[in-house]
Amino acid sequence: MSQTSFKKIAEDNMQPKEFSFDKENMQLAKKILKIYPKNYKESSIMPLLSIAQIQNNGWLPKKAIEYVSSFLEIPEIKVLEIATFYSMYNLSPVGKFHIEVCTTSPCMLRGSDDILSFCEKKLNVQIGGVSKDKLFSLNRVECLGACVNAPIVKINENYYEDLDLNTTDKLINDISNNKKVKIGSQSGRKGSEPRKSSYDKKR
């Protein structure tokens, strides 16, 4: 397994020579830009970085940061500040499936540390690492904002919730085997409805 930190800007030999939005993303970027007043167009840095990252297989090369800054006609540093601050942006290559395990207090109280260790072992990847076959990368992140369904794991753009070791195992197996996986709660509850009590179950 190789070790990397996804917030560290990738070495030059990993950087693509150029980046620009494809046709579909160009249309989407123009739509996004229209949401914001002309004098606040830098407010669209985050959604533009997100579509750039998805287009570039889950990480942002230097050329994408330059591209977004020239697209918005703002200094590159403003884009770089955002890209380096938020854990949702990766500055070096990730696996085909980038797994982020939330380990902030509510998730930690619901077993996220065990889930993280389980993922390390099962995937043979350390935190901040990419598997040899480049299929998986693993990271520990702060609150993903879905504490009510803790513990939460984010894989690429989707959230998987109410996990335990069995459902995490199944999720990883299904993803590896290209099976369709259910996004959201893995415990069978709808959204964040209250867990059924033994009293409810008898009714």
Binding site for ligand FES (CB under 6 A): 102, 104, 106-107, 143-147, 150, 152
Quote the least distance from Cβ 98 to ligand FES, whole Å: 17
Sign (positive or negative) of CA dihedral 34, 36, 39, 44: negative
Contact 128, 109 (CB under 8 A): no
Sheet with 97-102, strands from edge to edge, namely 2-3, 129-130, 136-141, 97-102, 153-155, 158-161, 184-185
**Which residue, 49 or 150, is less far from ligand FES as judged by CB?**
150
- Nearer CB in complex with ligand FES: 32/150: 150
Comparing CB distances to ligand FES, the nearer of 51 and 101 is: 101
Nearer to ligand FES, 28 or 141 (CB): 141
Question: Closest approach of Cβ 193 to ligand FES, in Å?
Answer: 17
For helices 76-85 and 45-55, angle between their N-to-C axes, nearest 10 degrees: 70
Amino acid at 6: F
Which lies closer to ligand FES via its Cβ, residue 71 or residue 160?
160
The HSE-up count of residue 21 (CA atoms within 13 Å, CB side) is 20
Buried b (16+ CB within 10 A) or exposed e, 62-92: bbbbebbbebbeeeeeebbebbeeeeebbbb
Q: How far is the CB of 103 from ligand FES (least distance, A)?
A: 8
Provide, rounded to whole angstroms, the least separation between the CB of residue 198 and ligand FES.
27
Residue 154 C-beta: closest distance to ligand FES, Å: 9
